[in-house]
Amino acid sequence: MLDTTSAARLLAAVVGLLLISGLLSIGLDFRFISQTLNAFKQDLQVYRETLSSDDIAGIAALESLTKAAQQNSQRWKITILLHSIVVAALLASIVVMLHGHVLQLFP
């Protein structure tokens, strides 16, 4: 069995890992998806010699591209929300576990 302080340290480590994963997800994954969608739209200009302006505008306005950008934005918000809820729950657990004990997570 873990004592209260050890369990609280373990939960604090989990909180740290969740924060890191959330930051990496937001900082890398979602930014990469957004940059890829923007690059695709910008790269369409390269095809001006072979495609008409209407064709390029039509491709840039494709519903799939618009939905991909919207879904990326929604997933970004959901990721922040879920990470926040889990971190808050874990922090609350730490506080409840250590209630009445001297808070010595990191002596």
Q: Return d(Cα 95, Cα 87) in angstroms, integer.
A: 12
What is the Rg, in whole angstroms, of the alpha carbon atoms belonging to the chain?
A: 23
Burial class (CB in 10 A: 0-12, 13-18, 19+), 8: buried
Query: Would you give the end-to-end CA distance of the chain in angstroms?
Result: 20
Q: Give the model's pLDDT for residue 100.
A: 58
pLDDT for the residue 6: 83
Residues of the chain with pLDDT under 70: 100-107
pLDDT at 53: 86
Provide the 8-state DSSP code for 27: I
For residue 105, the one-letter residue type is L
91: Cβ–Cβ under 8 A, 6 or more apart, which residues? 15
pLDDT in tens, 61-77: 888 888 988 898 888 88
Query: For residues 16 and 100, what is the distance between their CA atoms, to the nearest angstrom?
Result: 24
Output the pLDDT for position 5: 79
Q: In this predicted structure, what is the pLDDT of residue 106?
A: 53
Residue spans of beta strands (DSSP E) within 28-97: none
